[in-house]
Chains A and B, each alone.
Chain A
Amino acid sequence: MEQCKLTDFSIMERREINLAALATRMVGLAALTLVAFLAAVISADADDAVRVGVLHSLTGTMAISEVTVKNATLLAIDEINASGGVMHKRIQPIVEDGASDPAMFAQKAQKLIQQDHVVTVFGGWTSASRKAMLPVFERFHGLLWYPVQFEGNECSAAIMYSGAQPNQQILPALDWAFQKGYKRIFLLGSDYVFPRTANLILKKHIQHDGGFVAGEEYVPLGGTDFSAVINKIKAAKPDAVFNTLNGDSNVSFFKQMAAADLPPSKLPVMSFSIAEQEAKAMGPSLVQGSFAAWNYFQSLDDPANKKFVAAYKEKFGADSSVDDPMAHGYLDVYEWAAAAEKAQSFDPNKVRRAAPTLDWKDLCMGKTKFAANQSLYQTAYVGELQPDGQFKILWQSAQPIRPEPYDALSFPGKKCVIK
C-alpha cells in the first residue's frame, strides 16, 4: 500500500511537470507570436510615422502642472496628424514620465533618443529638470522644446526655449508696475534658482530705473509659515510685492496676508508662478485681485486662441482651463513641424536652424517667431485675476519682445550666440 501510494505520487508529480512544461511552452509561443505581431506593427509604423518624445512629470508633485502641458502637446500632434502630418508622415508620440525627478528626466531623455530613436523631444518644466536633460541632448545631438518661462542665463543649441526669458515676463511686469506708480517693490520668493535669479535681475533694474527695493525674502520650497515675512512686509511698507513663490506656498501666503488684513486689494501682489491652473486649484477667491504677468492668458481675444481653447475643452472636458506653459507646449509642436517641412528633414540640427527662418505666425498667443538664439519673440501681458479664475488683461507690450537670455545689467558681457 505504502509502495503503491508512493508510485502514484511520483506519477502525479511527473505529470504535473509535463503540464508545467507544456504551459511554459505555450506561454512562450504566445509571447513569440505577440512579439512578431508587435514587430510587424512597429515596422509598419516606421514606414509612415515619425516618432517624437513627450517627456513630462505624470506622477509626483509636478504632475498637477505637467500633465496639462502633455495634454496640450498631444492635442497639437493630433491636429497636425488630422491635417496630413509632417512631410506626409504621421507623428507618433512616445510619452514618458519624468516623475518630478530631474535624474529620471535625464534617464528618460536618453531612453527616448537611444531606444525609441525619436527625432525630437517636447518636455520639461522645472529648471532642475531642464538642467539635468541638457547634457543628454548635447551629447546625443538631440533637440528639446522647453515650454516654461524661466530665469534665462542659459544658452544651448540643443534646446528651443519657447517659454519666456526674464526680459519677456518679469521685466515687462516691472515696467507696468512703474507706470502704475509702484516704486517700492518687495521681492518674495521660494528658495531656489528661478526666484533667486529673477530677483537678482529685478534688483538691478529697480535700482537702475529709480525704484526702491523695499525688501527681499526667501522661504524654503513648500514653506507654510509666512508670519515673519508678513511682519517684514508691513514694516517695509512697499507699494507692491513681486511674488515668485512656487506651488502650495502661495496658498499659505495669500491666506495669511488676508488674515493680517493685507488682501491683494490693499497691497498689490504681482505673481510669476500663478496661472489659470494654479488659480483654479487654489480657489480663485483667495488670490482674486492679484496680478500676474505671462505671455498667454486663456482670456486672450484672438481667433487662433479661441480655436485652441475650444479644441482643448472638447478633448479634455468643458471645465478644463488652459494656461501659458500649455500654450507654449502646443505652439512648440507646430513650430517643430513647420521647421521640419521647411528643412525637408527631421535631423535635429537642420530643424533647429530652420526654425528661426520661419515666418511670424499666430498660434494662440499673438504673433510669435523663434529668434536666432533659439528663444521665442513673444508679447508680454499683465492680467488681473477675476473671481471666476480667469485673468482680465490690463496691459500688453507694444510689440513682441526680442528674447534676451542674458540680462545686460545683471550679466554684462555675456551673449547667447548659437552656431
Chain B
Amino acid sequence: MSDYALVAGQLFNGVSVASILLLAALGLALSFGLMRVINMAHGEMLMIGGYLSFVTYRLAPARLGFGLALVAAFVGAAAFGAVLELLLIRRLYGRPLDTLLATWGVSLALQQGARSIFGAIGVEVTAPKWLTGSFTVTEGVMAGFNLPYVRLFIIALAISVLGVVWLFVQRTRLGLYVRATHQDREMAQALGVNTSLVDLVIFALGTGVAGLAGSVLAFIAPVTPTVGQSYIVYAFLVVILGGLGSLLGTLLAAAIVGLFSAGAQIFTSVSFADVLLLMFVIAFIQFRPSGIFATRGRALEEV
C-alpha cells in the first residue's frame, strides 16, 4: 500500500468518523442551543439505539431486520427522550447544574440497567450481506485503498439525516416555531407558539437521531453498556467547536474533529492523536469562545 493510499484511506476514515460524530452530536447541538440543557445521558441514547437494533435483529425476519432496526432505534430512542423531557428536564428548566446532575444520574442508571439486562460484555449485530464487503483499488498508485460499504452507508445516512433535519427546521411550520423559540422564547410565546411542545419535539428528535447513530455504530463495533461514554466526549467537543444550535456549525465541527484526528493518526498513535485534538480544541476556543458560528439568540443571552 502506497503513501497515497494511506493518506487517502485516512481522509476517508476522517469523513467516516465525522459522519458518526455528526449523528451523535446533532441532537446535543439542537437541545443545547434551544434549551440550554446539558444532557449527560445523550450518550446512552446511542446505547439504547444499539440495543434496540440488536433486539430487532433477533426478533424480526432477516430481510426486514435491517430497516426495522433503524426505525426501532430511532423511534425507541426518541420515545425515551420524550419521556425523559416530560418527567425530568421540563421540571428543571433554568437550572443547568441540576439538569446536568440529574441527567448524569439517568446515564448511570441506564448503563447499569443495560449491564443487568444484556451483560457487561458487548452484544453483536451482524451487518446484512450487501453491507459487509468493501471496494478495493488493486492497481496504480492508490493500490490498497479500501472503502468498506458499511462506512459508505454511514456517511450517506448522516448526510440524509442532516438534510431531513435541515428541511424540517427551515421548511415546516413546526420548524418555524423552533427557529422562533430559538431567537426569542418569550416573544414566541407571546405570539402563541407552544414552546414547551417545541422543546419536547426537538429533544425527542435529537435523542432519536442519537439512537440512529447507535444503530449504525453496531455494525462496526459491539454494543456495550458504556458505548455512549466513548462518543459523548467527542460529541460535546463537536457542539462546543461548532457553536450552540447551529446545524452548519455542527457539520463543520464534526468534519474538523474527524479529519483532524484521522490526520494526526497518520503520524502518531491513537492515544496521542486524542491529546492533540483536545489541545487543538482548547486553542480554538481561545480565539472563538462561542464556536465557529456564534448564534445570536435571546435564549443564550439570558443565562
Tell me the A residues contacting B by CB distance below 8 Å: 60-61, 63-64, 191, 217-220, 222-225, 227-229, 231-232, 234-235, 237, 247-248, 251-252, 255-256, 258-261, 281-283, 286
Task: Across the interface, name the chain A residue whose C-beta is closest to B147.
Answer: A260
Is the pair B270, A281 in contact by a Cβ cutoff of 8 Å? no
B-side interface residues, number (CB < 8 Å): 41
| Chain B stretch 256-303: residues in CB contact (< 8 A) with chain A | 262, 265-266, 269-271, 273-274
Q: Name the A residues within 8 Å of B5 (CB-CB).
A: 234-235
Binds A, one of B86-94, B115-123, B235-243: B115-123
| Contact A261/B222 with A64-B119, A217-B270 known, Cβ cut-off 8 Å | no
Q: Name the B residues within 8 Å of A227 (CB-CB).
A: 9, 13, 16-17, 151, 262
| Other-chain contact of B124, A61, A191, A220, A282 (Cβ < 8 Å) | A282
- A218 and B274 CA atoms in complex are apart in Å by 12
B220 interfacial contact with A, CB 8 Å = yes
- A172 and B294 CA atoms in complex are apart in Å by 59
Tell me the B residues contacting A by CB distance below 8 Å: 1, 3, 5-6, 9-10, 13, 16-17, 119-122, 124, 132-134, 136, 144, 146, 148-151, 217, 219-222, 224, 226-227, 230, 262, 265-266, 269-271, 273-274
Task: Across the interface, name the chain B residue whose C-beta is closest to A262.
Answer: B146
Is the pair A191, B16 in contact by a Cβ cutoff of 8 Å? no
Is the pair B9, A229 in contact by a Cβ cutoff of 8 Å? no
| Other-chain contact of A220, B1, B121, B271 (Cβ < 8 Å) | B271
- A14 and B251 CA atoms in complex are apart in Å by 72
- A107 and B217 CA atoms in complex are apart in Å by 39
| Contact A220/B274 with A61-B120, A247-B121, A252-B220 known, Cβ cut-off 8 Å | yes
Is the pair A286, B132 in contact by a Cβ cutoff of 8 Å? no
Q: Name the B residues within 8 Å of A228 (CB-CB).
A: 10, 13, 262, 265-266, 270, 273
Q: Name the A residues within 8 Å of B124 (CB-CB).
A: 251, 282-283, 286
Q: Name the A residues within 8 Å of B266 (CB-CB).
A: 228
Task: Across the interface, name the chain A residue whose C-beta is closest to B229.
Answer: A222
| Contact A218/B269 with A64-B121, A223-B230 known, Cβ cut-off 8 Å | yes
Q: Name the A residues within 8 Å of B217 (CB-CB).
A: 224
- A70 and B226 CA atoms in complex are apart in Å by 25
Distance (Å) between the CB of B108 and the closest chain A CB?
13
Minimum-distance CB pairs A-B, first 6:
A228-B265, A224-B221, A227-B13, A259-B148, A251-B222, A252-B221
| Contact A219/B220 with A225-B17, A227-B13 known, Cβ cut-off 8 Å | no
| Other-chain contact of A237, B1, B149, B273 (Cβ < 8 Å) | B1
- A219 and B272 CA atoms in complex are apart in Å by 10
Q: Name the A residues within 8 Å of B1 (CB-CB).
A: 231, 234-235, 237
Is the pair A251, B17 in contact by a Cβ cutoff of 8 Å? no
Q: Name the B residues within 8 Å of A217 (CB-CB).
A: 269-270
Most chain B CB inside 10 Å of its own CB: which residue of A219, A229, A259: A259
Is the pair B271, A218 in contact by a Cβ cutoff of 8 Å? yes
| Other-chain contact of B10, A231, A247, A281 (Cβ < 8 Å) | A231
Q: Name the A residues within 8 Å of B273 (CB-CB).
A: 228
* A-B contacts besides A218-B271, A260-B146, 17 pairs, CB < 8 Å: A64-B120, A64-B121, A218-B270, A222-B224, A224-B220, A224-B230, A225-B17, A227-B9, A228-B262, A228-B270, A231-B1, A234-B1, A247-B121, A251-B122, A251-B124, A252-B220, A261-B136
Q: Name the B residues within 8 Å of A231 (CB-CB).
A: 1, 6, 9-10, 13
Task: Across the interface, name the chain A residue whose C-beta is closest to B224.
Answer: A248
Q: Name the B residues within 8 Å of A64 (CB-CB).
A: 119-121
Q: Name the A residues within 8 Å of B270 (CB-CB).
A: 217-220, 223, 225, 228-229
- A237 and B266 CA atoms in complex are apart in Å by 16
- A224 and B50 CA atoms in complex are apart in Å by 14
Task: Across the interface, name the chain A residue whose C-beta is closest to B265.
Answer: A228
| Contact A255/B220 with A227-B13, A228-B270, A231-B10 known, Cβ cut-off 8 Å | yes
- A305 and B301 CA atoms in complex are apart in Å by 71
Task: Across the interface, name the chain B residue whose C-beta is closest to A63.
Answer: B120
Q: Name the A residues within 8 Å of B148 (CB-CB).
A: 256, 259-260
- A204 and B124 CA atoms in complex are apart in Å by 37
Q: Could you pull out 14 A-B pairs where Cβ atoms are within 8 angstroms?
A: A218-B269, A218-B271, A224-B222, A227-B9, A234-B146, A235-B144, A248-B122, A255-B221, A256-B220, A258-B132, A259-B134, A261-B136, A261-B146, A283-B124
- A282 and B144 CA atoms in complex are apart in Å by 28
Task: Across the interface, name the chain A residue whose C-beta is closest to B150.
Answer: A259
Q: Name the B residues within 8 Å of A261 (CB-CB).
A: 133-134, 136, 146
Most chain A CB inside 10 Å of its own CB: which residue of B144, B227, B265, B274: B265
Q: Name the B residues within 8 Å of A218 (CB-CB).
A: 269-271
- A223 and B1 CA atoms in complex are apart in Å by 25
Task: Across the interface, name the chain B residue whose C-beta is closest to A219.
Answer: B270
| Other-chain contact of A222, B16, B132, B230, B274 (Cβ < 8 Å) | B230
Distance (Å) between the CB of B18 and the closest chain A CB?
12
Distance (Å) between the CB of A158 and the closest chain B CB?
30
Q: Name the A residues within 8 Å of B6 (CB-CB).
A: 231-232, 234-235
Distance (Å) between the CB of B296 and the closest chain A CB?
36
Task: Across the interface, name the chain B residue whose C-beta is closest to A236.
Answer: B1
- A235 and B13 CA atoms in complex are apart in Å by 15
- A222 and B265 CA atoms in complex are apart in Å by 18
| Contact A252/B222 with A219-B271, A235-B144 known, Cβ cut-off 8 Å | yes
Q: Name the B residues within 8 Å of A222 (CB-CB).
A: 224, 226, 230
- A220 and B219 CA atoms in complex are apart in Å by 20
- A247 and B219 CA atoms in complex are apart in Å by 18
Task: Across the interface, name the chain A residue whose C-beta is closest to B124.
Answer: A283
Distance (Å) between the CB of A101 and the closest chain B CB?
14
Distance (Å) between the CB of A256 and the closest chain B CB?
6
Task: Across the interface, name the chain B residue whose C-beta is closest to A225.
Answer: B17
Distance (Å) between the CB of A385 and the closest chain B CB?
16
- A350 and B1 CA atoms in complex are apart in Å by 60
Distance (Å) between the CB of B276 and the closest chain A CB?
13
